[in-house]
Structure 1
């Protein structure tokens, strides 16, 4: 009887101490982490595109860099805004990716209970869903800026040709 009670108590302690593992949750977390990590090349390209626009805007002829050149001033302002947004988005993206990688690793290693992992996953996954949209909107804005730059350059070149005649 004494051994039976000891065995029952040991089983109860073991059951309470064991952390449950939900394979479906682990698979969802891994899939979402993979989606998040797949955005990295898009963010890198976006950074390059923002740098390219900055170079174009900064290297226009000095005569275009006037306060009354609305197209130039708008591009300059938009480039500054895009650069700031990009820097903030990248910092958040890297932070979120790190948190997500840690969550997946800790849960897979049994360092977190399923309930705790589920709560943290729900918080993180809401932010993950928005990053593809952020990247898409920023790329659309870059395309619009490239179009505006092309229009501004064409207008400048046409005006220069007309003045040369």
Structure 2
């Protein structure tokens, strides 16, 4: 029997003070689901060494969203936002951004399929539990050819 996973801290005041945004109860639940799935995926692959709930909140969730903070507090600034997360690994920062901005199109891209973590298919991760809306899909992929940058 697996022990009950620890709960992520919610910290609504800290979200608001630092990012000008707070997750809804549903978004908080989605963050918790990512955390639990990452912990389960860590049993098969080394997805992250960061498993303490507070450290996970800071290093994976908050860090993922702090770079897009202006787009969180004023989503109308960039309607139909399209983001690509290159080298997504276990899904950071792409998955938290997808949860925070369900109206956005987020592409998760990594060079190896095994790094997609516990999310075997796009529909497996919590960010896709929202109703489908124009521009709100999440896609994953991997490069099929080397870039021609002349390195």
- The structure richer in helix per residue is 1
Question: Do these two structures clear the TM 0.5 threshold for a shared fold by scoring above it?
Answer: no
- TM-score if structure 1 supplies the norm length? 0.25
Report the structure number with the largest CA radius of gyration: 1
Relative contact order: is structure 1 or structure 2 higher (C-alpha 8 Å, sep ≥ 6)?
A: 1
Could you say which structure has the higher strand fraction?
2
